[in-house]
Chain A
């Protein structure tokens, strides 16, 4: 028989503790969002008046009212396109090999640990590596190709890690079913594993691209703070990107350039947010096809 005296529920105290926890967690959310809102509000306040067709379609200039981001936008597009072209096949391929083909031994474990470590290496280190390896040793010069290869090295770990997680999440029973039907290893990977993993793989790719588009340090090492009034015509041309142009403007003494920089930040944010929105859209679309 349960005797009531052997329990002391302290209900009041436990409920207060619960409320304290709730308030703490909610304030964490508020602090995070508030910081972002203040930042965005300031940028919008400073930069909105500078948003104009000139900002997007003009080359940089000494005169703030004529200066634009044309070279930086095209440079960014070139850099992103080439980076994606290198990163996607190599990153997804490496993930497929590590998850589906490689046997579990000390070497693969070492590789796995080090890929995770590479994701944490500061980006300026990659920039210096790219400067030594691609720009000088392979004599690519300060080209968009050298920049894209450097950026690929930087974001490859992100793509590999995300793709591996996505491939790992594909239920083993799918693979077994496909093998039992007489599929070869490659047919299992191509027709069963990859389609199921694609939302996660896509998310990883777009996250990596979002990281790459905002990276400044490695591009400064590769391309330097240049003043360009042309668009790259081929992968060996010089280039600049949005974060560098923004940094360049902020460094100017004139007040107007600071507004221009804020306008540039808005453009960069719009591109970034659209990429993330695309990631969410693609993930939802593919997930609908593979709901469990």
Chain B
């Protein structure tokens, strides 16, 4: 299914993971974005983005620096609320509920949308306390050690840390720290996991581990990943959104389609130019 079109050098996609998705799959929409604009003060960072993100899929956001892909991602858990002067207009429906409606409490909804950041950022606390943090603040009523173990297992870290849960998380390697951050984000059992360039600060082997993990996790959580690495987008995602930046520095969505389509036969010539590295 990844036959390259003539004259188009698509990045070679190692067949590490089997991408079982086919275009005919009918999936629920998790996040429905409609005419999203994001302003920082008077500066328009993102303009007119509309897209439907499907359940239990991996959706990749790609595009050049400053194209607003991280900004869009941060709208999905209202992290932009924390930036003074940020203004979000348009509609983002999360399972049919408008995320920016007055009755939505950002603190409550953030526990339903987990986030993993570019640089591994475990708290300077023990491994256990890192994972338990999200349980505590969200008033988890179950068994804490079990929940911590479950999250660490989901993040494929349990085997490496089960005997050192009381150790400071900062003693872990970079790749382990990032998987710990994934475990921490998974603990409150979010329905969506946002990943903002989760492997860009990691070595190739750790990157591979994260990608494998994304592939495993998407069975029960919808994942949206921002990445600068097109091979990574091709390897891990089912669907890919390509963003670009206008002359007035506002980001916009160029094309959003199945990953196989984007990387082999994109509709837009700008997408083709970008993924083949012929980008001005």
Contact = CB atoms under 8 A, between A and B. Distances in A.
Interface of A: 103-104, 171, 173-174, 176-184, 187, 191-192, 195-196, 289-292
Interface in B147-186: 168, 170-171, 181, 184-185
A180 B77 contact: yes
A192 B233 CA distance: 33
Contacts of B114: 180-181
A2 B125 CA distance: 55
Interface size class of B (residues with CB under 8 A): 20 to 34
Given A289-B168, A292-B124, A177 B188 contact: no
19 contacts: A171-B121, A173-B117, A176-B79, A176-B121, A177-B115, A177-B121, A177-B181, A179-B79, A180-B79, A180-B115, A181-B185, A182-B188, A183-B107, A183-B137, A184-B137, A192-B123, A196-B124, A291-B170, A292-B124
Contacts of A181: 110-111, 114, 133-134, 137-138, 184-185, 187-188
Contacts of B117: 173, 176-177, 180
A179 B194 CA distance: 14
From DSSP, what is the main secondary structure of chain B's interface residues?
mixed
A182 B111 contact: yes
A184 B111 CA distance: 11
Contacts of A195: 124-125
Contacts of B84: 103-104
Please give me the 9 A-B residue pairs with the lowest Cβ-Cβ distance, nearest first: A182-B111, A290-B124, A173-B121, A180-B115, A181-B134, A182-B110, A183-B137, A177-B121, A182-B138
Nearest to B81: A179
Given A104-B84, A173-B119, A178-B133, A184 B124 contact: no
Contacts of B125: 195
* Residue among B77, B84, B123, B125 with the highest chain A CB neighbour number at 10 A: B123
A112 to B, nearest CB: 17
B107 A174 contact: no
Interface in B81-117: 82, 84, 107-108, 110-111, 114-115, 117
A173 B77 CA distance: 15
A292 B172 CA distance: 10
